[in-house]
């Protein structure tokens, strides 16, 4: 069993990203560290928001995801199909919350560490080709993010089939992959918890300022990897 | 005492908070009841747009359980934006002289919502939410409402658990509701073979984003807003604390009781109306199948006289 744990850690390469292995190989997840301080994205996003968002919201998704996975494990062991099916919505919501937030933290960077710096290289060219310019991509993504009803996300993704960049929105914590063969390059959280303490009801202002701390370098790396 | 409170509260609630009866089934179209808030200005009758109604208590009246700041944003910004955007969307569309209830139902468009649905339903939901609370609320519901809750949920505590759980587990933005369900089979030729008073019961439901139980043909009695903007300034991520505070300190059981009275009366009226229509239909069918003899005699007479 110890061997199995060791092997899956190694092969999955997740040892450092907070993956833990519990009894009988059941994986549980823990909160990944932020690659910057809570206050480092100010004034675009306040330290208070970042701390609550990371320590409370993301942590809660992880806690409930682990709970649901454990219940799933037991339900599968017992061959209880209706329990397995019933768990799907909790897994999608909480697992999606974990997936999305893990991407989101990497999508942001303090201005002094390159946050907001326009994408160079292949992604920069692809944006010009598919959207005309970075400005028009930003405008379109901001508009679509502002129009999301209730809670959700707006994404810049790479369509693996057409090799084109696409802008999509997902409801609640649905990850981008629920829409098709799309790789998320940049996700912006438009849940109220992502901006309310600072921007209150004015979501468009949040969507205007967040571009000052977008980590295009990370998005470019994912793009290069997927296009390679 | 309670009955008196219910009776006085019933009228204003009745005007705006329930769908006008008979909306379903009027397939022939726009026979919607017009809103009562038209006003005369000189020779012209101007139909007022939907107005942002002030909450039934001052903005700071729910302190410390719901802060004045939350209220100022929630009512003053969010609710106002829903109403303003709705008015812009429906101007000149023919929706602008319906009641808000009807706009909600019409724009829901049988599950394929029109653009105005979100704003219409959110305008409705917030009106209903403000009136679901009162300063010094909470506690236990009065008399008959409590009996029904105990009948349908086992006990008041079990109801509270179910309501709290619905509110806490609504994924993302939305609402949790206590509704009165009149449980009619609403499918053309289907009929409930053994209808009884027990068919009508209290049920807890939750709904995503703007959706409200009018679209399921339920009578809403109580709601809690679980969009994050409803509690984030006061409770941040602690939605369960907000829900407990709402139940323990804010719920206006008087309003819920009054709505129940109206809902029961509406459901009864509707039953009578439906029974009358059904009887008419049957009589019509009978007449169609069995034309009166006098008609035949008449024809016979005519032919003879020719």
- Residue with the larger pLDDT of the pair B91 and A39: A39
Six-digit token pair at A61? 């998704």
Measured at the alpha carbon of residue B120, what is the angle toward residues B118 and B126, in degrees to the nearest 5?
A: 95
Interatomic CA distance for residues A123 and B93, integer angstroms: 45
Q: How many residues does chain A have?
A: 228
Given this model, what pLDDT does residue B294 score? 56
Q: Which residues are within 8 A (CB) of A204 and not within 5 positions of it... i.e. 6 or more apart?
A: A142, A146
Whose CA is closest to A155, among A132, A129, A180? A180
Q: Which residues of A touch B227 (CB under 8 A)?
A: 150, 192
Q: Is A89 on the interface with B (CB under 8 A)?
A: yes
Q: Is the pLDDT of residue A88 over 50?
A: yes
Given this model, what pLDDT does residue B55 score? 95
Average pLDDT value for chain A: 91
Interatomic CA distance for residues A122 and B14, integer angstroms: 62
pLDDT tens for residues B283-292? 888 877 776 6
Interatomic CA distance for residues B36 and A27, integer angstroms: 61
Given this model, what pLDDT does residue B17 score? 40
Percent of chain A at pLDDT exceeding 70: 89
Alpha helices for chain B (secondary structure H)? 2-16, 68-73, 80-90, 100-108, 117-130, 143-153, 156-169, 232-235, 239-245, 253-289, 293-305
A193 is in an annotated binding site: yes
E strand or H helix at A228? none
* Residue found by looking up tokens 């023919």 in the block: B94
DSSP A5-70: HHHHHHHHT-GGGTEEE-GGG-EEE-PPPPSS-GGGGTTTS-HHHHHIIIIIIIHHHHHHHHHHHH
Given this model, what pLDDT does residue A165 score? 98
B93: left (phi over 0), alpha (psi -120 to 50) or beta: alpha
Q: Which residues of A touch B82 (CB under 8 A)?
A: none
Q: Which residues are within 8 A (CB) of B45 and not within 5 positions of it... i.e. 6 or more apart?
A: B38, B39
Given this model, what pLDDT does residue B285 score? 83
Given this model, what pLDDT does residue A19 score? 54
Cβ neighbours of B101 (radius 10 Å): 22
CB A150 to CB B208 under 8 A? Answer: yes
Alpha helices for B189-292 (secondary structure H)? 232-235, 239-245, 253-289
pLDDT tens for residues A107-165? 999 999 999 999 999 999 999 999 999 999 999 999 999 999 999 999 999 999 999 99
A189 is in an annotated binding site: yes
State which residue of chain A sits closest to B174, comparing Cα positions.
Answer: A150
E strand residue ranges, chain B: 38-41, 44-47, 174-181, 201-208, 219-225
- Residue with the larger pLDDT of the pair A27 and B83: B83
**CA of B112: how far to CAs of A180, B105, B128, B285, in Å?**
23, 11, 24, 34
Chain-centre distance for alpha carbon A29 = 15
pLDDT tens for residues A196-213? 999 999 999 999 999 999
Q: Is B47 on the interface with A (CB under 8 A)?
A: no
Given this model, what pLDDT does residue B284 score? 86
Percent of chain A at pLDDT exceeding 90: 87
Given this model, what pLDDT does residue A11 score? 38
Interatomic CA distance for residues B81 and B78, integer angstroms: 5
Interatomic CA distance for residues B150 and B156, integer angstroms: 6
- Furthest C-alpha separation in chain B: 91
- Residue with the larger pLDDT of the pair B77 and A24: B77
A150: left (phi over 0), alpha (psi -120 to 50) or beta: left
Given this model, what pLDDT does residue B190 score? 67
Six-digit token pair at B10? 């019933």
Given this model, what pLDDT does residue A24 score? 56
Which residues are A157's β-sheet partners?
A166, A184
State which residue of chain B sits closest to A54, comparing Cα positions.
Answer: B237
Query: Considering CB atoms only, which of A93, A197, A200 is closest to B171?
Result: A93
Q: Which residues are within 8 A (CB) of B63 and not within 5 positions of it... i.e. 6 or more apart?
A: none
Whose CA is closest to B236, among A101, A206, A46, A56? A56
* Residue found by looking up tokens 């409770």 in the block: B235
Whose CA is closest to A107, among A195, A184, A199? A184
pLDDT mean by block of 10 residues, chain B; 306 residues: 38 39 36 39 56 96 98 98 96 89 94 95 98 97 95 97 97 97 68 70 96 94 98 98 98 98 92 87 81 53 44
CB B237 to CB A193 under 8 A? Answer: yes
Given this model, what pLDDT does residue B168 score? 97
pLDDT tens for residues B213-228? 999 989 999 999 999 9
Interatomic CA distance for residues A177 and B165, integer angstroms: 29
Six-digit token pair at B233? 């300034």
What's the average model confidence in pLDDT over A32-51? Answer: 98
A65 to chain B nearest CA, in Å?
13
CB A196 to CB B237 under 8 A? Answer: no
């Amino acid at each position: 069993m110890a061997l199995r744990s060791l092997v899956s850690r190694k092969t999955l390469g997740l040892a450092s990203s907070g993956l833990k292995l519990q009894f009988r190989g059941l994986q549980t997840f823990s909160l990944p560290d932020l690659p910057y301080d809570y206050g480092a994205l100010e004034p675009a996003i306040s330290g208070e928001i970042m701390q609550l968002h990371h320590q409370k919201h993301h942590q809660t998704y992880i806690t409930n995801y682990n709970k649901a996975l454990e219940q799933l494990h037991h339900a599968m062991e017992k061959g209880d199909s209706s329990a397995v099916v019933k768990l799907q919505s909790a897994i999608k919501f909480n697992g999606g919350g974990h997936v999305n937030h893990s991407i989101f933290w990497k999508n942001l960077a303090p201005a002094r560490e390159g946050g907001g710096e326009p994408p160079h290289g292949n992604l920069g060219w692809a944006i010009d080709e598919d959207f005309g310019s970075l400005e028009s991509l930003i405008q379109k993504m901001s508009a679509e993010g502002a129009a999301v009803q209730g809670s959700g996300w707006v994404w810049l993704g790479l369509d693996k089939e057409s090799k084109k960049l696409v802008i999509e929105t997902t409801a609640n914590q649905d990850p981008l992959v629920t829409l098709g063969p799309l790789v998320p390059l940049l996700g912006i959280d438009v849940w109220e918890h992502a901006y309310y303490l600072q921007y209150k009801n004015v979501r468009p202002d949040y969507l205007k300022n967040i571009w000052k701390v977008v980590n295009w370098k990370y998005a470019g790396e994912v793009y290069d990897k997927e296009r390679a | 005492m309670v009955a008196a409170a219910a009776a006085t509260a019933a009228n204003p609630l009745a005007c705006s908070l329930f769908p006008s009866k008979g909306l379903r089934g009027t397939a022939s179209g726009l026979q919607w009841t017009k809103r009562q808030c038209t006003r005369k200005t000189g020779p012209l009758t101007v139909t007022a747009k939907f107005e942002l109604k002030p909450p039934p208590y001052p903005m700071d009246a729910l302190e410390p359980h719901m802060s004045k700041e939350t209220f100022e944003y929630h009512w003053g910004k969010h609710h106002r934006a829903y109403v303003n955007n709705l008015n812009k969307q429906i101007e000149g569309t023919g929706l602008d002289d319906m009641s808000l209830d009807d706009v909600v139902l019409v724009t829901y468009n049988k599950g394929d919502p029109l653009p105005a649905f979100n704003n219409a339903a959110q305008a409705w939901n917030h009106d209903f939410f403000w009136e679901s609370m009162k300063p010094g609320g909470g506690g236990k519901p009065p008399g008959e409402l409590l009996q029904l809750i105990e009948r349908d949920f086992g006990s008041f505590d079990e109801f509270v658990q179910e309501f709290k759980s619905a509110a806490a587990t609504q994924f993302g933005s939305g609402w949790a509701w206590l509704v009165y369900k009149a449980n009619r089979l609403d499918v053309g030729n289907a009929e409930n073979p053994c209808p009884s008073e027990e068919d009508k019961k209290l049920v807890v439901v939750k709904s995503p984003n703007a959706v409200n139980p009018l679209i399921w043909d339920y009578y809403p009695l109580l709601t809690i807003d679980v969009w994050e903007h409803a509690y984030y300034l006061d409770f941040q991520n602690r939605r369960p604390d907000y829900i407990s505070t709402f139940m323990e300190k804010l719920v206006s059981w008087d309003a819920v009781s009054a709505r129940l009275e109206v809902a029961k009366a509406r459901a009864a009226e509707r039953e009578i109306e439906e029974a009358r229509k059904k009887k008419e239909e049957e009589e019509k069918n009978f007449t169609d199948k069995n034309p009166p003899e006098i008609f035949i005699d008449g024809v016979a007479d005519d032919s003879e006289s020719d």
